[in-house]
Amino acid sequence: MYFKHMRYTGVLPISSILICLSIIFLSASGRQYDSIHQFAERVLVRLNKMHHPESELLKIRKCELLLSDEGFLRYRKTYISGKQEYYSLNITRVSSIDYIGDTGSGNLLLKTMEDDVIVQTFNDRDGNVDSMATHFRLDLHTVEPEDLVALQDDILGMKLLLKKN
């Protein structure tokens, strides 16, 4: 048998480099290939887990938070009096995501590019209102920083995928 001695020069063969790079990219970009539906499910699960209706909790009968695969975030609060507040926006129109508060409680603010948030009230004694707003506020509680980062990543990932389609 004949063995050829190779001297190590600090340079890996091209095939080794390509294999290493493909492994790194595939493992690091696992979430990159998520579908819009997967992003929507994760965002909705996190928001429902952290959502906490404001101090008017005793006056609220029901809250619904929905996120469609088309990127529409819909939020409806129904009060015991029958009054309903409805908010709707498309994730693609979100310009910034902010959280004001601490780990105990706070507000998630989704700011939009223009008047992109639909605001409606129904069965209101002061009259029904149809208007537009530049931000959507959602009360949250028991908020961990890593949950906020993951939420922001999923919203922005969903936004990017929706813009591609």
Which domains are present in the chain?
29-164 (2.30.29)
Query: Is a pLDDT exceeding 50 seen at residue 5?
Result: no
* pLDDT for residue 61: 86
Residues with Cβ within 8 Å of residue 130, at least 6 apart in sequence: 118, 119, 120
List the beta bridge partners of residue 102.
none
Q: What is the pLDDT of residue 54?
A: 64
Write down the pTM of the prediction: 0.75
- Does the structure show a pLDDT above 50 at 87? yes
Enumerate the H helices of the chain as residue ranges: 14-28, 36-50, 145-164
Q: Indicate the DSSP class of residue 103.
A: S
Inform me whether the pLDDT recorded for 59 exceeds 60. Answer: yes
Looking only at the bridges linking them, the beta strands covering 72-79 and 105-112 are unpaired
Residue type, 18: L
- Give the full edge-to-edge strand order of the sheet including 135-141: 94-101, 105-112, 135-141
Whole-number Å distance between alpha carbons of 112 and 126: 27
Residue 18 has pLDDT above 80, yes or no: no
Most confident of 34-38, 49-53, 76-80, 133-137: 133-137
Q: Sign of dihedral through CA atoms 112, 118, 124, 128? A: positive
For residues 1-25, average pLDDT = 40
